[in-house]
Amino acid sequence: MFYEIFVRSFHDADGDGIGDLHGVIDKLDYLNDGNPKTNNDQGIGGIWLMPIGPSPSYHGYDVTDYYSIHPDYGTMEDFKQLLQAAHERGMKVIMDLVVNYSSSEHPWFIDSASDPGSPYRDWYVWAGQSQRNTSEISATGGKAWHAKNKDH
């Protein structure tokens, strides 16, 4: 059984009001202490981390760097410590890796938006290219399209 963790709100180990990777490490024994003879943990076989990469939003689904850890959560070294601590307890770790979209602050998007000849241009849908109705509403009720330069 996997346990999904939104790191930002799970457990704050450094007292700054934001959950972090050390907070997850601190609570691993609650999830699974690694000893099958005890019954005071939840018996979790793995944890599923919601996005932990740098992002301008609280939820992290608009990643700006797929190779880094959000500084609010810690460092890559902290992530490696989490992996080791989980594996010592026999737990697997999976990550919610958001590759089907990126932040408007991601270098790929910035390059794509600034240059019609960008190698990343077709990684995004531009309304000017598709003749989309730019007044469409998104699934969350906001604007589905946002102006960027002369394209949407």
Domain ranges in the chain? 2-95, 106-152
Output the pLDDT for position 152: 43
DSSP assigned state of 97: -
pLDDT greater than 60 at residue 40: yes
Q: Regarding beta strands 92-95 and 46-49, do their DSSP bridges make them parallel or antiparallel, or are they unpaired?
A: parallel
User: Quick one: pLDDT band at residue 138, thresholds 50, 70, 90?
Assistant: confident
Q: What is the dihedral of CA 128, 133, 138, 139, to 10 degrees?
A: -120
On whether the pTM is more than 0.75, the answer is: yes
Please give the residue that has the higher pLDDT: either 57 or 145: 57
CATH for the 106-152 domain, from 3.90.400.10, 3.30.565.10, 3.40.50.300, 2.60.40.420: 3.90.400.10
A 10 A CB-CB count for 141 gives: 7
- CA triplet 115, 61, 44: central angle to 5 degrees? 150
* CA gap 19, 131 in Å, rounded: 43
Question: Does domain 2-95 match CATH 3.30.750.90?
Answer: yes
Distances (CA, A) of 133 to 35, 72, 129, 144, 152: 57, 38, 11, 10, 10
CA separation (Å) from 145 to 131, 141, 148, 149, 151?
A: 12, 12, 9, 13, 10
pLDDT, averaged across the chain: 89
What is the share, in percent, of the chain residues with pLDDT greater than 70? 90
For residue 97, the model assigns a pLDDT of 84
- The predicted-structure confidence for 3-12, as pLDDT tens digits, reads as follows 999 999 999 9
User: CA-to-CA distance for 33 and 12, rounded, in angstroms?
Assistant: 20
